[in-house]
Structure 1
Amino acid sequence: MKQTITSEAIPIKLWLDDLAGEALKQARNLANLPFAVHHIAVMPDAHVGYGMPIGAILAADGIVVPNAVGVDIGCGMSAIKTSLSSIEIENLKQVLQSIRTAVPLGFKHHRQPQPLDTMPPLEGSLTIVEQEYEAARTQIGTLGGGNHFIEIQRGRDRAIWFMVHSGSRNIGFRVAGHYNKLAVSLSKRWQSTVPASWQLAGLPLDSKEGQNYFREMSYCVDFARANRSAICRRVRQALLDEVSAAITFAEPVDIAHNYAAIEQHFGKRVIVHRKGATRATTGEKGIIPGSQGSNSYLVRGMGNPESFTSCSHGAGRKMGRKQAQKNLDLDHERRRLEAQGIVHAIRGRRDLEEAAGAYKDIERVIANQQDLVEVIDILTPLAVIKG
């Protein structure tokens, strides 16, 4: 931990030196929520989000806050080690082309609904999920846009890995939007003491509305995991088809970083909101990806209670998307990747929103959380597909 702010109702514990501006204001708002418990934890990749900094953890007493989970419910990472120890550049390009054919990117969906057994089962009352279910069948196994990616990587032992970053697509967006709007409306009716400008309206977990949100949120977490699994199957097939039919694959490491969970911390049963943060209980494997062109880290949790047994979910942005497109040098960002021999996704100025220059230094981010995780492998990028 780098510093503690004690000026608010509960402390804010930070694993970085440079939280400022709107992100710091949002952290202060969290610390003054009447239902916030013990302290707020802010990870080293933190930056401004909607209502709550991305890269923060809120433990709440009996209240679930849709905006403290976010719109891409269940978004996360999956990493799989292969039996390959090398891959030729031409094979690599063929693999990427095969993946692009098999996995819809950006706003694209499958033309036909995917089989029912690829979807998580429907259990209980899931009003919004049921409304979006058939559309979601065309979205499962699709990457999405923004910072979502598929990356081929090499471990320290030279083994070839691949990593997928994706979430719950439109079904999570719809669930998040519906329940945040409902929470705002009910907060007005209940004359909540939380200012509307904070964008942190909550739902009592023991209310019908809170229970409904928690069920639908949990479904979206399951959907996001199933989505990553479907993408991974297509990446595996691309490697088998384009490189060698004899490749074998280890079990995936899969983690989510946008969700709420009921957990026990500091002797109290609380609702832990991880928005852009990863659970890191003792011995638990996790993934902390870098930006496009930088290393990613496989880690093992140390179970630090001060972070609510959490760690960062990535490098974290240091500039907004439009700011990156405006200020970064396209040629410089492309040369940076090409000098490393990375088959990259920077084509034009629009792509600069996901350039390495838009993100924090992943090595510094890792160094700032040595009390939260230990590094078990470093994955160097070979090629990347962006949504």
Structure 2
Amino acid sequence: MGSKLSGRDLIKLGFPKNNAVNIALGQIHRYRKKEKKSTILEEAKQVLLAPEKYKNHGTWGKLAEELTVPVRVQMQKLSGQSAPFSVFGEDVIDERAKQQLYDALKLPVAVQGALMPDAHSGYGLPIGGVLATDHAVIPYGVGVDIGCRMSMSVFDIPASYMTGKSDKLKGILQDHTKFGMKETHDKKMDHEIFSHPGFSDIPLVRKLLDKAYRQLGTSGGGNHFVEFGFATITETIPGSKLPPGEYLALLSHSGSRGLGAAIARHYTYLATKQCPLPDHVKHLAWLDMDTHDGQEYWTAMNLAGDYAKACHDNIHYRVASALGRRISFTVGNHHNFAWKETVNGKPCIVHRKGATPAGQGQLGIIPGSMTAPGYIVKGLGNPESLRSASHGAGRVFSRKACKERFTRHDMKKILKTKGVTLIGGNVDEAPMAYKDIGKVMQLQDELVQVLGTFTPVIVRMNS
């Protein structure tokens, strides 16, 4: 069996006595250990004879790279000078979040950074942090929940429809949305995302296919939600035929589920091994885009982003079907992702960790809280923010602090005052945990134009 294969076996084939042996054993143990030893040795021999033929191969690509243009590991030092940056809403951002951005700006690959007014501290980049890098991708600059996104569907139904229909709408959310680690839909649905080549070409992702299939159309825990409310459209929305007015709408917030989390963990580990950094910035380890792992992460990250969108599309399809009405239009955006963009004429990787893309004319959704409005926005393409905006109101209190400060009674009192029905949810997501979304929007009026709002009425979250 492959698990009994040793470095001595590879050296007998002619492998050099260097890191190539360790890489080969690591890849075999991780992805091929259940196969026959003879089969594995024959394949390894072919890689040794013609490594260039195995470039980008799921199992052997990393070994082929080591045999041709090996990745050299060396301790990385921070620069003495920060890359240029902008901070929006400095007075409402905690010092730790600012320091995390300042540290990231000293990476040798940093080109430019920005901090959004909803920012607060996280791992690696702060939440609300934006960082452009030179030919390098930082897994923790994207975040664990790859492709976490907002999606809002508007129905050609007046907002007044909700009056007297609350029980029906509440029942739809209870019956047709699933949350957390254990809940899945009884009736699974297929989707074109499962034919993505990443599910066959990348061994790690291939192992996650069954989980991804089970979790399609479900939402995570924490601050993820699906909610009915009404959209107040004040300006014509590009791509929509609906005139300004108030309409029934559905808003969801979730990401790539177990698929994205596993991808994030795996490639963060590889980044920390290939790009060791001082302890206080170790979560900012990057993958060079010219390496096998860098290219593989990029493919896996984009797959996770597409899967997150597929989940939202499935959620909205299920809810619309239960409602018996067609969706008029949908607006959505990632806010945990990385994109290839040009910054001051230079091709860069732009990481937005808890930040909304706000390129010129680009539509997006910036939510408030379960009792505060969200905003339908159009980007102004401001280069100072790296064409970004906030991804929400941002937290004032951590989850732990919420549990210490607030009770469920406190939360219910505010929900009742605001006329919001909550299904599930915990005090760590209490409305009091968040900044004033109105003030946050004022602090970024040079980043986005407001086209309308979404007011939550019936909110479903993980219990």
TM-score by length of 2: 0.76
Which of residues 284, 289, 310 in structure 2 aligns to 1:226?
Answer: 310
| Residue in structure 2 matched with residue 11 of structure 1 by the alignment | 84
Shift of 1:335: 1.6
1:198-347 equivalences in 2 (<5 Å) = 198=281, 199-240=283-324, 247-345=325-423
Larger Cα Rg: Structure 1 or Structure 2?
2
Shift of 1:83: 1.4
Shift of 1:94: 2.2
Which of residues 118, 121, 126 in structure 1 aligns to 2:195?
Answer: 121
Distance in 2 separating the partners of 1:43 and 1:306: 11
Distance in 2 separating the partners of 1:15 and 1:339: 32
Greater length-normalized contact order (CA 8 Å, ≥ 6 residues apart): 1
Alignment check: 8 A CA contact 2:139 2:286 kept:
yes
Alignment check: 8 A CA contact 1:140 1:230 kept:
yes
Alignment check: 8 A CA contact 1:108 1:142 kept:
no
Label 1:218 to 1:113 Cα distance change in 2 as closer, same or farther (>3 A). Answer: farther
Output the aligned Cα RMSD. 1.7
Structure 1 unmatched ranges of 5 or more = 1-6, 189-193, 241-246
SS in 2 for 1:269: strand
Distance in 1 separating the partners of 2:371 and 2:162: 18
Shift of 1:163: 0.5
Distance in 2 separating the partners of 1:103 and 1:92: 16
Shift of 1:90: 4.7
Label 1:83 to 1:257 Cα distance change in 2 as closer, same or farther (>3 A). Answer: same
Distance in 1 separating the partners of 2:180 and 2:338: 26
1:37-48 equivalences in 2 (<5 Å) = 37=111, 39-48=112-121
Distance in 2 separating the partners of 1:254 and 1:342: 23
| Residue in structure 2 matched with residue 75 of structure 1 by the alignment | 148
Label 1:165 to 1:141 Cα distance change in 2 as closer, same or farther (>3 A). Answer: same
Shift of 1:113: 7.9
SS in 2 for 1:283: coil
Shift of 1:346: 6.6
SS in 1 for 2:329: coil
TM-score by length of 1: 0.90
| Residue in structure 2 matched with residue 94 of structure 1 by the alignment | 168
Distance in 2 separating the partners of 1:88 and 1:76: 26
| Residue in structure 2 matched with residue 139 of structure 1 by the alignment | 215
SS in 2 for 1:234: helix
SS in 2 for 1:336: helix
Deviations 1:198-221 (A, max 9, x none): 111101001001001000000000
1:122-201 equivalences in 2 (<5 Å) = 122-124=196-198, 125-156=201-232, 157-188=245-276, 194-198=277-281, 199-201=283-285
| Residue in structure 1 matched with residue 446 of structure 2 by the alignment | 371
Alignment check: 8 A CA contact 2:115 2:130 kept:
yes
Distance in 2 separating the partners of 1:292 and 1:29: 33
- Percent identical: 37
| Residue in structure 2 matched with residue 20 of structure 1 by the alignment | 94
Q: For this pair of structures, how many residues does the alignment match?
A: 366
State whether structure 2 residue 463 is matched by structure 1 residue 385.
no
Q: Which amino acid aligns with 2:168?
A: Q
Distance in 1 separating the partners of 2:249 and 2:370: 15
Alignment check: 8 A CA contact 2:320 2:326 kept:
no
